[in-house]
Homo-oligomer: A and B are copies of this chain.
Amino acid sequence: MLKVFWCILKRDITLAMRRRTDVLTTLFFFIIVVSLFPLGVGSERELLRELGPGVVWVAALLASMLALERLFAADYDDGTLEQMLLAGQPLSLLVLAKVVAHWVLTGLPLVFIAPLMAMQYALDGTAVWVMMASLAVGTPVLSLLGAIGAALTLGLRGGGILLSLLILPLYIPVLVYGAGAVTVSAIQIADTQPYFALLGAFLLAALVLAPPASAAALRISME
């Protein structure tokens, strides 16, 4: 069981390392989207400070969603996904391994680049830490939820944009509490703990429910 999990995880990470641009592009997309906003809305410090958490989180949402499109697509196109379905291994385990690899490659880098982004929006010390923490807990939820959508839209023409239509509404709770935690951290008296408790609960629920749902979706899509 564990061996299979590691095998898939290693495979996906090796594949990504063969094409290092893939990892970097998600990151750059995130950076570019965050940096575009000041161009569109002007650059008053106060306005930007208010916008910051929301923009960073929306950008994280979009980046995570875009990267998701490729979660199963490549495996589907070359037939390796078909082989996974027929491997005689629990499919949710394989799915979980793929999602974990995906998060390590696309979600984790966002956490580390966040401080740079926060700087552009004039956020201060605590807010930056809270933003990193909220991204660290929130982005795995995005990857897990997104996997369901990716599995459902597998092989459909225009799948990418259809995927975003299906998945973005489901991302809303993570967005609300993720961005909320950062906004609130600016106020001295307010407490960010309930936000993190909620995000953590989402993560646990997603860890349990999303892999089987994605596996079911994959079986449907491969028919």
Q: Determine if A22 and B58 form an interchain contact, defined as CB atoms under 8 angstroms apart.
A: no
Interface membership of A51, Cβ < 8 A: yes
Q: Contact string, A69-92, partner B, CB cutoff 8 A, digits 1/0?
A: 110001000000000000000000
Copy number of this protein in the oligomer?
2
Size of chain A's interface in residues, with CB distance under 8 A? 45
Q: Determine if A41 and B55 form an interchain contact, defined as CB atoms under 8 angstroms apart.
A: yes
Of listed A32, A40, A42, A62, residue having the most chain B CB within 10 A: A40
- Among residues 12 to 51 in chain A, which have CB atoms less than 8 Å away from a CB atom of chain B? 19, 21-22, 25-26, 28-29, 32-33, 36-37, 39-42, 47, 50-51
Q: Determine if A54 and B37 form an interchain contact, defined as CB atoms under 8 angstroms apart.
A: yes
| Sample (11) of A-B pairs whose CB atoms are under 8 Å apart | A21-B162, A22-B161, A28-B161, A29-B161, A36-B61, A36-B175, A37-B58, A40-B179, A47-B47, A63-B161, A67-B161
List the interface of chain A (C-beta within 8 A of B): 19, 21-22, 25-26, 28-29, 32-33, 36-37, 39-42, 47, 50-51, 53-55, 57-58, 61-63, 66-67, 69-70, 74, 157-158, 160-162, 164-165, 168-169, 172, 175-176, 179, 183
